[in-house]
Amino acid sequence: MTQVEAPAWTPMTDDERAKFDQDGILVIPGVLSESEIKVGQNAIQGAYERAQQPGGHGLSATGALHQLSAITSVPELAYLIDHPVAFKYIWSLLGWNIHIYHSHVDVHPQIHEKTKEWWHWHQDGGRQNREIETDPRPMLSVKLAFWFSDVSETGRGNFTVIPGSHKTNWLPGPPSRGVPWPEPEGATQVTANPGDLVVFDRRIWHARSDNYSPFTRMGAFFGYTPRWIAGRDDVADLPQTDWFDSLNPVQKQLLGHAGDGSGDHAWGHFPETTPLYGALKERGLLDSSIPALIP
């Protein structure tokens, strides 16, 4: 497994916290080193090639890959999930009792012909957006998007968002997804370079734009949430793999394996046997002014 040269752990700044609360998104340049970028590119390209083999995951009609359970599918990317420069945004916002509930790697090559228009705008969280009654709904999860391709200009399959929309429960749209419909007001294509990070609130209204450029879009996405929310990723059998024991305790927690596996442990009743709690406590980063970081 790739090892990250770890800088000291530090929380997100007050300015970053205020900006995130306002916009629901942060773009952090240059998070990954050149060697980390190369490892990620090679790993995702390998997944793309495996998907095309007999018995593989398969590709979409446009040759794209959307592979769920990112670490189960591409274990070489495990260095990303607790990367100290990126992970600070997660524990600063969500605290220590967390796991990755949903993740994927994406590869989108150039589209040569315009495809049928579909309404892709959504909030993450599935039925959380139907069954929770508050307005706005609670954040519940935060996602990290690591970029391994050049999306520094628009038109390259850019991640597209409406900044500030994370506190809006409803977005006007078509009667069904296949009906042509204009982009919502305020839609903004996010630009980034390889190695940049996008941090976003699951509630922000977002979509993927089509890629008509010669640059293949490549990224890895990890959604973090409290452990008392069920995971979508397929991680139950990871302890039987030949690489699982090379992970550190925090990585194992993030991949669904911490404590005794009971509901009580997932509820956070046993912080002292929850690895991220211990890592934050050891570094003096538990903070009684932030509910999720209360010791």
Tens digit of pLDDT for each residue in 186-195? Answer: 999 999 999 9
Q: How confident is the model at residue 3 (pLDDT cuts 50, 70, 90)?
A: low
5, HSE (Cβ side, Cα atoms, 13 Å) = 6
Q: Mean pLDDT lowest for which of 3-12, 119-128, 283-292?
A: 3-12
Query: Cα–Cα distance between 128 and 204 in angstroms, integer?
Result: 13
Residue 295 confidence (pLDDT) above 90: no
List the strands of the sheet with 98-108, edge to edge.
Answer: 25-28, 197-201, 142-147, 217-226, 98-108, 65-68
The band of 236, judged by pLDDT with boundaries at 50, 70 and 90, is: very high
**Token reading at 278:** 């211990």
> Does pLDDT of 4 surpass 70?
no
Q: How confident is the model at residue 180 (pLDDT cuts 50, 70, 90)?
A: confident
Average pLDDT over residues 164-183: 91
- From residue 256, give the alpha-carbon distance in Å to each of 193, 237, 267: 31, 10, 13
What does the pLDDT average to over 151-164? 96
Backbone angles phi, psi at 115, to 5 degrees: -95, 170
User: pLDDT tens for residues 48-97?
Assistant: 999 998 888 889 888 999 999 999 999 999 999 999 999 999 999 999 99
Q: What is the pLDDT of residue 93?
A: 97
Is the pLDDT score of 112 beyond 70? yes
pLDDT at 2: 66
Residue 144: both structure tokens together: 């990290």
User: Mean pLDDT score of the chain, rounded to an integer?
Assistant: 94
Query: Mean pLDDT, to the nearest integer, of 148-173?
Result: 96
The pLDDT assigned to 5 comes to 61
Beta-strand relationship, 217-226 and 142-147 = antiparallel
User: Token pair for residue 20?
Assistant: 């995130």
pLDDT digits (tens, 9 = 90+) for 114-148: 766 778 899 999 999 999 999 999 999 999 999 99
In this prediction, residue 31 has a pLDDT band, given cuts at 50, 70 and 90, of: very high
Percent of the chain clearing pLDDT 90 (strictly above): 84
